Amino acid sequence: MIATGVNPVDALASSLGEGRPWAGVSDFLSAVRLLRKIPTEVARSRAVATIRVAVLGNATTDYLVDAIELALTPRLACATYVAGYDQWPQELLASGSGLDQFGPDVVVLLLSTLGLTAGGARYDEIPDRLVHDALAAFAARSNAPVVMVLPDIPVDATGGESAPDRWYQRARVALHDAAREALGSRSVTVDPMAVLADLTRSWRAGSYWGSAKLPYHAAGCIAVGRRVAQTIENITHPRVKVVAVDCDDTLWGGLAGEVGPSGVNLSPFDGGIGHLCLQRLLKEASANGILLVAVSKNEPETVAAVFRERARDMVLSADDFVAFKVGWGAKSHSLREVAAELRLGLDAFVFLDDSTFERGEVRAGTPEVFVPELPSNPIEYAPFVTRLGILERPIRSDEDARRTQLYQQERWREEARTVAASPDAYLASLDLQLIAAPIDDGSLDRVAQLVAKTNQFNLTTRRYSREELRALATDPSAYTYAFRVIDRFGDAGLIGVVIATTGGDEAVLDAFLMSCRVMARTVEHAMFEHLRRWLLRGKHSRIRASYIRSSKNALVAELLPQFGFTILDASPARTDYTREVDAALDVRFVSIREDS
């Protein structure tokens, strides 16, 4: 039961605490009632973002929608649009539909088996063609990713070769492929069975399909809604960027310091299997761009020796980790250190440790870190962490796949910085190269991602849709460049975007943004210098620019004066500047190249 009579925000927060909330449907309904009492402005002001979620489907989606919203609360606030029952084809196909007017960030499309088979009365049709055409039509009008909930196992499936079984096997594949073909990487499917199979009660709709067109029992709708919420969070605002993981009795069985590298349990035939499964899960997370940090109380050589001497028995290798924090200090101190080194907030960390003591120490010392109660049985580690839903990356860029490498290079640079005699000597030693390339279809995805996500090093925080970017990129009077940086440690990837529009002899700097991971290397000066040379060639004599203040971009408040701009006009919200094009900028530490 949930306390009433107190402030709904606090009451809801306490009901959403540790572990599994909503033991039953009535608990869930009480939580939803509290959620409804929280004014929209309050929910939005407490959230890191508000996301617009549209839910379409061939069944009643009320419980599903409430569960999505509740599961995202309070970190993300939701604006929802719920399409009419079975209206998904019209909504997706017709330009100007309610869905279009709503303008979703994410679309959820529920295709339940009962809805597709007239309640289980007919197994003769799979609407993969319609799904493909409807999603393709929608994709031409919107960038929103679509989370499609696949059919559930038919109530009269035998597990053999009956008509429902054959329909089910084909429908899952055909619908998955149809969505993938229509949407490419923006298609994400969720198999509801992964969570329905875990319910202790039957998830079957039973009478509720006939009475209310529920796709599953209310408890099933709620479980699937929570699962979909995890996917939505992981697509739009992933909570966890770093997994800090203990070694002894977490990554392997036993204490390496006592039993030596050869003695730790990594055997797939007994207790080692749970540790290996956790390693496999973390290996996948690392490939998805989540950073791994080993945090262990040991001599550094003890841990290094396990990775070296047991390499053949392990799934993870030392290269999968962005940092090793091995020593005898408090683990919360190690986490603070590594957060500073990676320039990431502690709220982006999850900490996995078998020891109750260490979990308690980290909770007390770094309360921002997410510290789940790892089960005591190692065989439960991987399934438990999976169900937290924080390591899934349904949509990933090439950048995500290389992230560990990028951060490793950054740490080598840090080390070089500490040995260099002076800041200038250090910058000179990096051998920095800026590679400029006009934005094109090949870079559009990464450019759109950078434009959408860069908050700090961003002069105007102007967001552009892919269509707007594409239109600007084909406009010959506009300067639309994306920049990569390479130094002697490696390729930092696409890190900057600059957009300027021109008219007559004057230009306006519309967007100037850069990834924070290449800060303090004068790269931004080189980016501006590249623009300046382009304007000079185009016989433009003057450029105007503005710093538009946001809650996060104080970092660049003084950037334009550094580029030689002078103030035209200043207000608390923005400062407008101007500059002659002809004076060159000093970029002696960075060589600028045009990508051919």
- Nearest-approach distance from CB 115 to another protein, in angstroms: 16
# residues near another protein by CB under 8 A: 17
- Nearest-approach distance from CB 201 to another protein, in angstroms: 8
Q: What DSSP letter does each residue of 455-474 carry, written as one string?
A: -SSBSS-----HHHHHHHHT
When asked if residue 26 is in the footprint of another protein (CB under 8 A), the reply is yes
Q: Which of residues 216-245 bind another protein (CB under 8 A)?
A: 217-219
Q: Identify whether 367 is preceded by a cis peptide bond (ω within 30 of 0).
A: no
- Three-state SS for 441? helix
- Nearest-approach distance from CB 219 to another protein, in angstroms: 8
Q: Which of residues 49-68 bind another protein (CB under 8 A)?
A: 62
- Nearest-approach distance from CB 57 to another protein, in angstroms: 15
Among the residue ranges 171-179, 213-221, 298-306, 461-469, the one whose residues contact another protein (CB under 8 A): 213-221
Q: DSSP strand E in 504-565: where?
A: 506-514, 542-548
Pairing of strands 478-487, 490-503: antiparallel
- Nearest-approach distance from CB 207 to another protein, in angstroms: 5
- Nearest-approach distance from CB 206 to another protein, in angstroms: 6
When asked if residue 300 is in the footprint of another protein (CB under 8 A), the reply is no
- Nearest-approach distance from CB 65 to another protein, in angstroms: 11
- Nearest-approach distance from CB 68 to another protein, in angstroms: 16
Residue with tokens 């061939």: 58
Q: Where are the alpha helices (DSSP H) in 268-351?
A: 272-287, 300-309, 331-342
CA separation for the pair 354, 362 (Å, rounded): 12
When asked if residue 25 is in the footprint of another protein (CB under 8 A), the reply is yes
- Nearest-approach distance from CB 218 to another protein, in angstroms: 5
Q: What DSSP letter does each residue of 80-136 carry, written as one string?
A: EEEPPTT-HHHHHHSTT-HHHHH--SEEEEE--HHHHTGGGT-----THHHHHHHHH
Among the residue ranges 19-27, 92-100, 320-328, 331-339, the one whose residues contact another protein (CB under 8 A): 19-27
Please give the span between the terminal C-alpha atoms of the chain, in angstroms, as a whole number: 65
When asked if residue 214 is in the footprint of another protein (CB under 8 A), the reply is yes
Among 207, 317, 356, 477, binds another protein (CB under 8 A): 207
| Complex with another protein: residue 26 or 474, whichever CB lies closer | 26
How many Cα atoms within 13 Å fall on the side-chain side of residue 584? Answer: 5
| Complex with another protein: residue 217 or 359, whichever CB lies closer | 217
CA separation for the pair 352, 384 (Å, rounded): 11
Among the residue ranges 13-21, 134-142, 148-156, 207-215, the one whose residues contact another protein (CB under 8 A): 207-215
Q: Supply the DSSP symbol for 576.
A: E
| Complex with another protein: residue 33 or 141, whichever CB lies closer | 33
Among the residue ranges 108-116, 127-135, 203-211, 524-532, the one whose residues contact another protein (CB under 8 A): 203-211
Phi, psi for 29 (deg, rounded to 5): -65, -35
Other C-beta atoms closer than 10 Å to the C-beta of 502 total 19
Among 9, 11, 12, 30, binds another protein (CB under 8 A): 30
Other C-beta atoms closer than 10 Å to the C-beta of 381 total 22
Closest CA to 546 of 450, 462, 479: 462
Beta-bridged to residue 514, according to DSSP, are 496
When asked if residue 210 is in the footprint of another protein (CB under 8 A), the reply is yes
| Complex with another protein: residue 60 or 187, whichever CB lies closer | 60
When asked if residue 33 is in the footprint of another protein (CB under 8 A), the reply is yes
Q: Supply the DSSP symbol for 262.
A: G
When asked if residue 29 is in the footprint of another protein (CB under 8 A), the reply is yes
When asked if residue 189 is in the footprint of another protein (CB under 8 A), the reply is no
CA separation for the pair 586, 563 (Å, rounded): 9
Among the residue ranges 105-113, 200-208, 381-389, 463-471, the one whose residues contact another protein (CB under 8 A): 200-208
Other C-beta atoms closer than 10 Å to the C-beta of 378 total 22
CA dihedral sign, ordered 459, 462, 468, 471:
negative
- Nearest-approach distance from CB 208 to another protein, in angstroms: 7
CA separation for the pair 508, 499 (Å, rounded): 9
| Complex with another protein: residue 201 or 488, whichever CB lies closer | 201
When asked if residue 24 is in the footprint of another protein (CB under 8 A), the reply is yes
Check if the beta carbon of residue 285 is closer than 8 Å to that of residue 391: yes
CA separation for the pair 293, 403 (Å, rounded): 13
- Nearest-approach distance from CB 63 to another protein, in angstroms: 9
Among 206, 345, 360, 442, binds another protein (CB under 8 A): 206
- Nearest-approach distance from CB 60 to another protein, in angstroms: 8
Q: Supply the DSSP symbol for 393.
A: -
Among 14, 40, 45, 211, binds another protein (CB under 8 A): 211
**Which residues lie near another protein (CB under 8 A)?**
24-26, 29-30, 33, 62, 206-208, 210-212, 214, 217-219
